[in-house]
Amino acid sequence: MTRSNIALLVLLAVVASLPLFGGAYALRLGTMACMYAILALSWNVVGGFAGYPSFATAAFFGFGAYTTGVLLGKGLPLWLGVVIAAVAALLMSAVLGAALLRLRGHYFAIASLSLVEVLRELVNNATDLTGGGMGLNIPLVSGSGVLAEAMFFFYAMWILLLLTALMVMAVAGSKLGFGLACIRQNETASSMVGLNTTLYKSIAFGLSACFVSAAGGVYAAWVHYIDPSDVFDILYSVKPIVMALMGGLGSPLGVACGAFLYLGLEEVVWRNYIQFHSGVLGLIIVLLLLFLPHGLISLRPANLWRKAKHV
Amino acid sequence: MHAAQILVNAVVLGCLYACIAIGFSLVWGVLNVINLIHGSFIVLGAYLAFGLYNALHISPWYSIAVAAPLFFVLGYLLQRLLLNRVITAPVLVTLTMTFGLDLILNNAMIYFFKADYRKLTLTPSLGSVSIFDVVVPVDRLIATVAALALTGLLYLLLRRSRVGRAIVAVRLDRDAAVLMGVDVKSIYAIAFGLGAALAGCAGVLMALIFPISPLTSSGYLGKAFVVCVLGGLGSVSGALAGGLLLALVEGIGSTFFGPAHATTLSFILLIIFLILRPQGLLGRKGFE
């Protein structure tokens, strides 16, 4: 257990104590924070560890939201719906990954972007099952009060985040994580020395999909109504990347911090500049990439000092 | 005659698709950047045509001459000042960068022009011609010819001019081009400017045919993706072939499965092509 992993667990424990201090608004923000952290940490497995520029996060998020939504409509309990969504996404992404992950660089980016479009259009057109463009109403899970429900979904999302964080740590410390780092550095060389790159990449893609899908499922039950343009929004693919870049690519602690910081920025922008919120997000992206390409983690005092010594 | 109509529609639409995609293909091929602002540039070009026609009664045919230099300068500056700083970074960074720029431009357009759908309506209307049972509106016909002319112009530019040969050289082998004395930085900016100019001109043509709204930009961008991958990256003939194939598939697809499934079909085709034939129909390395 490295120091930064312990710091991440402490951070999560602090987040879990949020209901002690805040009301319904704080709980909503906390739920969003956990969701964003799940998306960013999951993306980090394939984007940060393996270095594949995946834009498919929105595809799996929407897939999970719709799978869970439809299953809840059929009367299944929430936990079962979420588990089925996660397992289905794991299988689907592992199979898709085996094909898509043979592409590299720009071609992989385009293919993963297209995956979002394909799933969105399929859901849009399968009106009988999903309600199509009219969206899908999802039955209330519990009949209890507003605050109790907010609390329930906060902890549901938090537990999912904890599981995601444990998964990411386990991957980072295992042979799988080492293999992914090799793939990132030089894929051809790592396959030359006997690494089964296709298998490793498919596992990474599958792991990054299943927690996102589960988060989508909890989100769907939480907001009670989803439609294709909402859950298959390409922003769900880009935001995790921005969070990861903000915090520092590849470091789980940095990525989680990036997600929380991003949510804070987003909330401030939404509250004050509703008409410019996507423009401000664009501005943040541009400034971040120009001036802080290695994320906040590069601002550690040690790094600054070391840099100063060279100058 | 039904089949003939589908075929003619596909040719008309295919040339327009090629015109949408060609600037995107040029930037991707030469700069190795997936330029996500392309869709918003097209919409901005459409607004330019709309504004010039409604305010000053300048016909869209002349708006092309206004749009081309304006967008060239815009693209040139954007590349020189912003994109050039991250041009050597991995695809994740350049792609996210252009996405951020696209968010800014699109948000600005929604703010200034509103998200309402508008339509440029020529008065008097140009009507349509019909040969046997095949009907083609005249404005579409002229837009197709203009799209073909723009495509041809780019082809000539790349083939005949000094700058064009330098662009092709950078595309083929960047390091060798540097050794031959090509100023790669300025070639990058010129190529990006050309891409933007083509997007602006394509937007002017689109204004004649399709409704205009900032919300349509991602649709145009998606078409550019598919055309580039189908036809093969970085060649004028590839973009034409890709555009025609896409329009044909969409036409036949919407006849048999309904228009709602046309987009799905085109993206499924894109993924199949990426996996089986990533170099596209006419794929080869090189730009003419």
Take residue A166 and report the two structure tokens written for it. 């444990």
Domain boundaries, chain A: 3-309
User: Cβ contacts (< 8 Å) between A100 and chain B: which residues?
Assistant: 271, 274-275
Residue located via tokens 């300068």: B73
Partners of B134 in beta bridges = B131
A142: CB partners within 8 A, 6+ apart: A148, A149, A152
- Whether A114 and chain B come into contact, CB under 8 Å, resolves to yes
User: Across chain B, where does the E strand assignment appear?
Assistant: 128-131, 134-137
Take residue B226 and report the two structure tokens written for it. 């598919």
User: Cβ contacts (< 8 Å) between B99 and chain A: which residues?
Assistant: 238, 282, 285
Q: Which residues between 122 and 181 in chain A have a beta carbon less than 8 angstroms from any beta carbon of chain B?
A: 122, 124-125
Report yes or no: B282 and B237 within 8 Å, Cβ to Cβ. Answer: yes
- In terms of Cβ atoms closer than 10 Å to its own Cβ (0-12, 13-18, 19+), residue B7 is middle
Q: What is the mean pLDDT of residues B96-103?
A: 90
Residue B118, phi then psi, degrees to nearest 5: -120, 165
- Whether B227 and chain A come into contact, CB under 8 Å, resolves to no
Contact (CB<8Å) B278/A47: no
Chain A's closest residue to B28, CA to CA, is A106
Alpha-carbon distance of B117 to A59, in angstroms, equals 28
CA-nearest of B240, B228, B231 to B148 is B240
Which domains occur in chain B, in start order? 2-276 (1.10.3470)
Give the gap in angstroms from C-alpha A153 to the nearest C-alpha of chain B: 31
- pTM for the complete prediction? 0.87
Give the gap in angstroms from C-alpha B37 to the nearest C-alpha of chain A: 12
pLDDT tens readout for residues B263-276: 788 888 888 887 77
Take residue B115 and report the two structure tokens written for it. 């998200």
Contact (CB<8Å) A53/B274: no
Interface test with A, best of B78, B88, B99 (most A CBs within 10 A): B99
Q: What is the mean pLDDT of residues B216-233?
A: 85
CA-nearest of A78, A72, A42 to A153 is A78
Contact (CB<8Å) A110/B274: yes
User: Cβ contacts (< 8 Å) between A238 and chain B: which residues?
Assistant: 96, 99
Q: What is the mean pLDDT of residues B15-44?
A: 90
User: Cβ contacts (< 8 Å) between B100 and chain A: which residues?
Assistant: 281-286, 289
Q: From the CA atom positions of chain A, what is the Rg in Å?
A: 19
Contact (CB<8Å) B103/A241: no
Report yes or no: A164 and A218 within 8 Å, Cβ to Cβ. Answer: no
Contact (CB<8Å) B271/A114: yes
**By 3-state DSSP, what share of chain A in percent is helix, strand and coil, each rounded to 5?**
80, 0, 15
User: Cβ contacts (< 8 Å) between B231 and chain A: which residues?
Assistant: none
Partners of B128 in beta bridges = B137
DSSP state of B212: B
pLDDT tens readout for residues B132-162: 777 888 888 888 999 999 999 998 998 888 9
pLDDT tens readout for residues A142-160: 667 777 888 888 999 999 9
Instruction: Report in angstroms the alpha-carbon separations of A87 from A63, A214, B103.
Output: 11, 9, 34
Q: How high is the pLDDT of residue B101? A: 92
The pLDDT tens digits along chain A (311 residues) read: 677 888 888 888 888 888 777 788 888 889 999 999 999 999 999 988 888 888 999 999 999 999 999 998 888 888 898 999 999 999 999 888 888 888 877 888 888 888 898 898 888 888 888 887 788 888 776 667 777 888 888 999 999 999 999 999 999 889 999 999 998 888 889 888 888 888 899 999 999 999 999 999 999 988 888 988 888 988 899 889 988 888 888 788 888 988 998 898 888 888 888 788 888 888 888 888 888 777 776 666 555 554 443 33
Alpha-carbon distance of B254 to B252, in angstroms, equals 6
Q: Which residues between 3 and 32 in chain A have a beta carbon less than 8 angstroms from any beta carbon of chain B?
A: none
Q: How high is the pLDDT of residue A273? A: 80
Read out DSSP for A126-167? -HHHH-GGG-EE---S--S-HHHHHHHHHHHHHHHHHHHHHH
- Whether B73 and chain A come into contact, CB under 8 Å, resolves to no
Report yes or no: A136 and A70 within 8 Å, Cβ to Cβ. Answer: yes
Read out DSSP for A255-272? HHHHHHHHHHHHHHHHHH
Q: How high is the pLDDT of residue A309? A: 38
User: Cβ contacts (< 8 Å) between A262 and chain B: which residues?
Assistant: none
pLDDT tens readout for residues A272-281: 887 888 888 8
Take residue B87 and report the two structure tokens written for it. 């041009």
Long-range contacts of A26-32 (CB under 8 A, 24+ apart): A27/A147, A27/A150, A27/A151, A27/A154, A28/A150, A29/A263, A29/A267, A30/A154, A30/A158, A31/A150, A31/A153, A31/A154, A31/A157, A31/A222, A32/A263
- Whether B115 and chain A come into contact, CB under 8 Å, resolves to no
- Whether A274 and chain B come into contact, CB under 8 Å, resolves to no
Instruction: Report in angstroms the alpha-carbon separations of A9 from A89, A151, A257, B13, B81.
Output: 26, 20, 12, 56, 42
Contact (CB<8Å) B91/A106: yes
- Whether A95 and chain B come into contact, CB under 8 Å, resolves to no
- In terms of Cβ atoms closer than 10 Å to its own Cβ (0-12, 13-18, 19+), residue A191 is middle
Alpha-carbon distance of B242 to B255, in angstroms, equals 20
**CATH of region A3-309:** 1.10.3470
Contact (CB<8Å) B93/A275: no
Report yes or no: B94 and B87 within 8 Å, Cβ to Cβ. Answer: yes
pLDDT tens readout for residues B164-209: 898 888 888 888 888 888 888 889 999 999 999 999 999 999 988 8
Q: How high is the pLDDT of residue B31? A: 85
- CA torsion angle for A203, A99, A180, A12 (degrees, to 10)? -50
CA-nearest of B76, B100, B278 to B194 is B76
Alpha-carbon distance of B168 to B234, in angstroms, equals 10
A9: CB partners within 8 A, 6+ apart: A165
Give the gap in angstroms from C-alpha A170 to the nearest C-alpha of chain B: 25
A246: CB partners within 8 A, 6+ apart: A258, A261, A262, A288, A292, A295, A296
Contact (CB<8Å) A114/B97: no
Interface test with B, best of A128, A278, A283 (most B CBs within 10 A): A278
Give the number of beta-carbon pairs within 8 Å between A and B: 115
Chain B's closest residue to A245, CA to CA, is B93
